[in-house]
Amino acid sequence: MNKLTRKMSLFGKGRKAVVNFIDIDDDLANIGTSGELEGSKDSVIDYDSAAKIKELEDKGYELVENNFDPDGKKPLFSDESTTPYVISFRHGHEVVDVNNPGYGFNKDDLQKVGTQTVHYSGAGNRTPADTVTHVIFNHTIVVDKVTKEMIKDEGWQPESQSHFLIGVPTLPGFVPDESVVGGELVTAQDPDREYSVEYDINRDPDTGDQSAVIKFVDITDNNHEIASETLTGKANMPINYDPVKKVNELKEKGYALVNNGFNADDNIQFFGSEEDYVPTFIMTMKHELIKVDVDHPNDKVKKNEYYQETTFAVDFEGAGDNTPVNDVQLAVWTRSITVVAPTGEVIENGKYTTDWTVDPSQFHNVKVPVIAGYHTEVKEVSAEPITREDRIVNVNYVQNGRIIPVDEDGKEIEGAKQPRFITLNNDPTKVMADEIVPDVDGYTCDLMTITPHNPAKDVRVTYKAKKRNDVLVIPVGENKKQEKKSTKVKMTSEPAPTPEVVGSNAIEPEKENSKSPEKPAVSKPETTQPVVAKANEQTVAQTSEQPKMETQTSVTDTETKTDNANEVKPAAEQAHDQVAIINFIDVDKNGAQLTSSGPLVGKPGESINDLYSTEIPLKAIKDAGYEIVFNNFDREGVVQRFDNNDLMTQIFTIGVRKKQTKKQKNSNKKYDKKDNNKRQKRTSQRSDVTSSASQMSERQRLYNQRSHYTPQSDRIRQQPVHQDHGSNTAAMVLGVAATVISLIGLTGKRK
């Protein structure tokens, strides 16, 4: 923003700010506000958000982001009329379990204890006491601290588990009806089990060798037997066995001892005395499970068991060295697994096992880069769904077609430029709808632009050989001062050829007979001779032959004549400063000027947009009730630059009008017919002014054609105004013409 637009912005009014507190878990609902805070630009916004933040946190909210005063430092009022600030929150969550009950959940809702009871009978006072064991199920719930509602029920954990497998105690002289009981798999919904064992007197004891079995079972695997030892000995004799060795072997395989059902507390066990009864003792083991994930790796577990990567790639090709680098997006899949340590065996659906999660949750669409001279079939590649497989999408660039100048016989014109179609800077699938045809020396073309229907196919454009035309020289700037020194030529009945002007340089056409007696007389002996223009200069205006008129020739800055007619001095090689102006006019008031950028000065080729922005003036004008009718300065994708024309000031016009109310629009309909007649009359009266403006517009159009693309709508505005145009166009032309006339003197003074 330059000084002028900054000065205009808001006309020195006070500034406002507002701090809003929003809930991102409730569709960005507003849960608090500071109200409007007022102050002057660059003054401190006197508001403390800490109290409101504390109030919301006490209600269960959690702060997400504070873009007002995150570090406690209060911001300043900015350039904007009203500056909004947002402090965002989300709902806090709380885990409710047996150790943290609440929100209407008691201990019985959060924990269940299953009981297994084995009753013994039949051995009198030697009958063993009941064997009682327990399993525990815990319930976990997640609650929204703001709404107090349950948002997640993690259910009972574990979903199921086994009771202990019980080896029935051995009693000398008695035989039980079961050797092993219990050990069933139960759930939280039905956790209790009860069993009965009855002893009977051994009335026919066996005195031979007896057997006993030591079983090692995995309670985490539904009491699956993982090892056993069979022992032999004499009837009713103590069993001499130490299970420690076997327990240690199993520990090396990742198991841990849970319960010793053989010699715990130094108990002594005995062989039986019944041939059909084999005493069985249970050593309960469990997996020694560990959690393995990216944060807890294990050398015995392959990484792809818990970490995987997939990609979504857009592969560009076809534009040679200009081909963009492939766009590759990475998604990372992770999970936790349950592993038996130290074997590394992965337990499916184990204690620590979780589902796969992916980050990010989705790939993003890929915009296809615009490459000059090439086009594609797609503007944007839609993101593929994230899966566990890699995805590749190919995008191929195709070279644009060209404009091929041909003569009237259809042959390509030798040496003529063949420009390629211009790809739109915001859409790689399209080329410009109005491609400007190139200039070809010695030829003219009836077309200003062409519209390619197939961006890959060349378009042949027919040119006609040029015919010499007489021209009219209009002195401007410093040349007006030299008017008195110019040669005045009076035309006879056989008029002399009019000098041809290219740009602002006059070229004397060759005469058929240089010794003709009808040589025009000059008013003074000292004359100014025309100089030859450069081939790339631009024609100012063309007219047909007009006999018996006075023609004045002028000297340009390209070469300067001195009093010595034979001496020609070249102009300075260094480029001069150029001037541009942006005018804001009211089309409903005959082009009356509302405001202006003032003269903007820069070197040829430098950006005008870097010096001036219409954003703030247009905002102020719109706020005053105006609407934009046309704007030939702000063009999408076009940077306005200073030209290299020392004689003409670049003029850009933005036309606006007061917005009409609905009542005014209805009233205007009654007078449309009458107003049209008046407009035609006014347009006729302004035809002289329009003619001058048309020449200026033609000069500007030719320059724009060579410097950058001009949309077709702006070319139409630059054409001469005809009597059937509306009052809006006439007002625009009057505004432009008035500016041109006022600036002709400015150009000369600037030089």
The string of pLDDT tens digits covering residues 626-662 is 999 999 899 888 889 999 888 888 999 999 998 876 6
Class of domain 107-291: mainly beta
Rounded distance between C-alpha atoms, residue 351 and residue 171, angstroms: 39
In the chain, CATH 2.60.40.4300 covers 107-291, 292-396
- What pLDDT sits at residue 552? 36
- What pLDDT sits at residue 737? 53
pLDDT at 245 over 90: yes
Span 39-63, average pLDDT: 93
Rounded distance between C-alpha atoms, residue 214 and residue 226, angstroms: 11
pLDDT at 485 over 80: no
Burial letters for 364-396: b for 16+ Cβ neighbours within 10 Å, e otherwise? eebebbbbebbbbeeeebebbebeeeebebebe
The CATH architecture one would assign to domain 3-91 is Roll (3.10)
Q: Give 246-262 pLDDT, tens digit per residue.
A: 999 998 887 899 999 99
Burial letters for 528-562: b for 16+ Cβ neighbours within 10 Å, e otherwise? bebbebeeeebbbeeeeeeeeeebbbbbbbbeebe
The CATH architecture one would assign to domain 578-750 is Roll (3.10)
Q: Give 531-576 pLDDT, tens digit per residue.
A: 333 333 333 333 333 333 333 333 333 333 334 333 333 433 456 8
- When mean pLDDT is compared across 220-224, 298-302, 324-328, 650-654, the lowest value belongs to 220-224
Q: Are 317 and 397 in contact (CB under 8 A)?
A: yes
29 forms beta bridges with 23
pLDDT at 585 over 80: yes
Residue 415 in 3-state DSSP? coil
Q: Average pLDDT, whole number, for the chain?
A: 78
Higher pLDDT: 55 or 221? It is: 55
Domain 292-396 has CATH 2.60.40.4300: yes
- What pLDDT sits at residue 488? 41
In the chain, CATH 3.10.20.470 covers 3-91, 578-750
Higher pLDDT: 401 or 525? It is: 401
pLDDT at 192 over 90: yes
Cis peptide before 158 (omega within 30 of 0): yes
Q: Which helix (H) or strand (E) holds 299?
A: none
Tokens of 415: 């040496």
- What pLDDT sits at residue 175? 93
Burial letters for 225-247: b for 16+ Cβ neighbours within 10 Å, e otherwise? ebbebebebebbeebebebeebb
The pTM assigned to this predicted structure is 0.42
Q: Give 669-722 pLDDT, tens digit per residue.
A: 554 555 555 555 554 444 444 444 444 444 445 444 444 444 444 443 444 444
Rounded distance between C-alpha atoms, residue 748 and residue 751, angstroms: 5
Place of tokens 């001195």: 562
pLDDT at 145 over 80: yes
